[in-house]
């Protein structure tokens, strides 16, 4: 009977969605929703397309080859503004994961860093800074408009290292980074799981930090949807988000980790040893440094987090001074679509769109309906608190700084 209903639902609406993603562990909820029929249960016919580059993801979204994609939020903003290639309005109604990135450096350099940190009682990043200074080394990031580039720059800056001046940052695709580390072409890289673990297993690299060491509850991948596709398809989008949430719960349960890793390791997805994938799944061996898919409202598209990315993009001259960052955040980050899709399920959904980022040393409770949600600690490594109101417009930020003087 249920088959019949599903079939007729499929006939009633053109329910195909084409979603692009890369070979990364945090694509897990999409792959699980597809393989275990969660999309099908919602009457959706989803086609997952695994791409080798972020450039392909951006272009295929821009030209309508994809309806949606798993994306790093800074790249979604870049596509929205046409900073690389054709501009195309995108929406982020859902966050796919938090955490999961690693800073992985060459074995010998890692030993040097560790030794120095112990001898002079320095933090990891201070010791790394001391080792990098004046040596003209290169670190790899996966894309200019990536969370990795922004997180690594932020971390290094807390120890006085400026990319471009003290260390060179180069774009190296993660699948090539492992090899580049081995050949000495780069001294280290910041990339998403499983590539840090793959480098460790290959014996070429050591992971010295994860996303959490930079920003404790760092948002990572998001679902970006073409604005034009979403028009008039709100129910279809809601169905997709419901299937994703169900998959997120599955992926977040440590019991399912080895099973999820096995599915992800298939040749058509990550094509990587399942043990390397398992390490950064919830319940994996990197206990606290891995990906989070559900708990602590990880799936909610916090506007304050979108604005943090934009503010960092501005800090590093990746975005024009004149762009109204707050307005851009509100156009792209769409918690209203999240609520519309998931409230009917009885899920607890945050009641606010903005929060101070980095203000919590310990788990705290956020106002949500029907029940409050416990959120994890969200400190930045340097203790800075990011208050979204400070970024209303460049002029206002200047005024507020003046008031404080």
Partner 1 sequence: MPLKVLLIDTDADRARALDDKLSESGFAEIQRASGGPGLAEAVESIKPDLIIIDMALPDRDALEDIRAVSAAHPIVMFAGCDDPAFAEEAIAAGVCSYNLSGVALEDVKPIMASAIALFRRYRRVEEELAAAKALLEERRLIERAKAILMQGRKMTEPEAYRWLQKKAMNENRKLAQVVAEFIEQHDPGIASAHAERK
Residues of this chain that interact with partner 1 (CB under 8 A) are 3, 7, 52-56, 59-60, 63-65, 84-86, 142-144, 170-173, 175-176, 179-180, 183, 185, 266-268
CB-side neighbour CA atoms (13 Å) of 337? 29
Is the Cβ of residue 166 or residue 179 nearer to partner 1 in the bound state?
A: 179
Tell me how far apart the alpha carbons of residues 336 and 76 are, in angstroms, rounded to a whole number. 18
Is the Cβ of residue 49 or residue 323 nearer to partner 1 in the bound state?
A: 49
CB of 317 to partner 1, least distance (A): 13
**Any residues with CB less than 8 A from the CB of 60 and at least 6 apart, and which?**
20, 49, 51, 66, 69
Q: Tell me how far the alpha carbon of residue 56 is from its chain's centroid.
A: 18
CB of 138 to partner 1, least distance (A): 11
**Any residues with CB less than 8 A from the CB of 108 and at least 6 apart, and which?**
none
CB of 274 to partner 1, least distance (A): 11
CB of 58 to partner 1, least distance (A): 8
Percentages helix, strand, coil for the chain (3-state, rounded to 5) are: 45, 20, 35
Is the Cβ of residue 144 or residue 150 nearer to partner 1 in the bound state?
A: 144
Is the Cβ of residue 82 or residue 254 nearer to partner 1 in the bound state?
A: 82
Cβ neighbours, 10 Å, residue 66: 25
Is the Cβ of residue 119 or residue 268 nearer to partner 1 in the bound state?
A: 268
CB of 169 to partner 1, least distance (A): 9
- Strand ranges, E, within 160-244: 168-171, 188-192, 205-210, 222-226
CB of 82 to partner 1, least distance (A): 9
Is the Cβ of residue 54 or residue 229 nearer to partner 1 in the bound state?
A: 54
CB of 322 to partner 1, least distance (A): 18
Is the Cβ of residue 22 or residue 125 nearer to partner 1 in the bound state?
A: 22
**Any residues with CB less than 8 A from the CB of 303 and at least 6 apart, and which?**
329, 330, 333, 335, 353, 354, 388
Q: How far is CA 166 from CA 37, 161, 381, 383, in A?
A: 49, 6, 20, 23
In what side-by-side order are the strands of the sheet with 205-210? Answer: 168-171, 138-141, 188-192, 101-106, 205-210
CB of 44 to partner 1, least distance (A): 18
Is the Cβ of residue 179 or residue 330 nearer to partner 1 in the bound state?
A: 179
Is the Cβ of residue 132 or residue 175 nearer to partner 1 in the bound state?
A: 175
Say whether the peptide bond before residue 272 is cis (omega within 30 degrees of 0).
no
Element (H, E) at 95: strand 90-95
CB of 380 to partner 1, least distance (A): 26
């Amino acid at each position: 009977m249920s088959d019949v209903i599903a079939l007729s639902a499929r006939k009633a609406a053109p329910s195909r969605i084409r979603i692009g993603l890369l070979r990364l562990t945090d694509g897990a909820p999409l792959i699980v929703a597809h393989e275990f029929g969660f999309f099908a249960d919602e009457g959706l016919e989803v086609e997952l397309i695994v791409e080798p580059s972020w450039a392909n993801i951006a272009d295929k979204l821009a030209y309508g080859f994809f309806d949606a994609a798993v994306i790093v939020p800074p790249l979604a903003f870049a596509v929205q503004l046409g900073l690389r290639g054709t501009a195309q309005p995108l929406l982020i109604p859902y966050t796919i994961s938090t955490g999961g990135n690693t800073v992985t450096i060459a074995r010998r350099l890692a030993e040097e860093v560790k030794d120095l940190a112990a001898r002079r009682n320095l933090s990891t990043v201070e010791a790394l800074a001391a080792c990098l200074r004046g040596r003209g080394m290169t670190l790899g990031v996966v894309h200019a408009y990536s969370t990795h580039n922004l997180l690594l720059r932020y971390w290094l800056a807390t120890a006085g290292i400026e990319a471009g001046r003290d260390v060179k940052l180069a774009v190296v695709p993660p699948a090539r980074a492992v090899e580049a580390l081995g050949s000495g072409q780069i001294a280290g890289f910041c990339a998403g799981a499983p590539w840090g673990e793959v480098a460790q297993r290959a014996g070429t690299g050591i992971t010295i930090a994860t996303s959490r060491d930079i920003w404790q509850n760092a948002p990572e991948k998001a679902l970006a949807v073409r604005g034009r596709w979403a028009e008039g398809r709100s129910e279809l989008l809601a169905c997709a988000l419901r299937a994703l949430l169900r998959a997120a719960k599955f992926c977040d349960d440590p019991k399912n980790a080895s099973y999820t890793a096995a599915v992800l390791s298939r040749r058509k997805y990550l094509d990587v040893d399942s043990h390397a994938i398992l390490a950064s799944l919830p319940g994996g061996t990197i206990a606290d440094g891995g990906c989070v898919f559900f708990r602590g409202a990880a799936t909610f598209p916090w506007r304050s987090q979108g604005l943090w990315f934009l503010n960092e993009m501005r800090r590093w001259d990746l975005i024009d001074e004149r762009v109204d960052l707050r307005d851009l955040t509100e156009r792209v980050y769409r918690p209203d679509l999240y609520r519309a899709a998931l409230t009917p399920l009885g899920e607890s959904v945050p009641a606010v769109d903005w929060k101070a980022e980095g203000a919590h040393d310990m788990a705290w409770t956020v106002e949500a309906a029907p029940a409050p949600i416990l959120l994890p600690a969200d400190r930045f490594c340097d203790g800075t608190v990011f208050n979204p109101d400070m970024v209303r417009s460049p002029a206002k930020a200047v005024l507020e700084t003046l008031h404080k003087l």
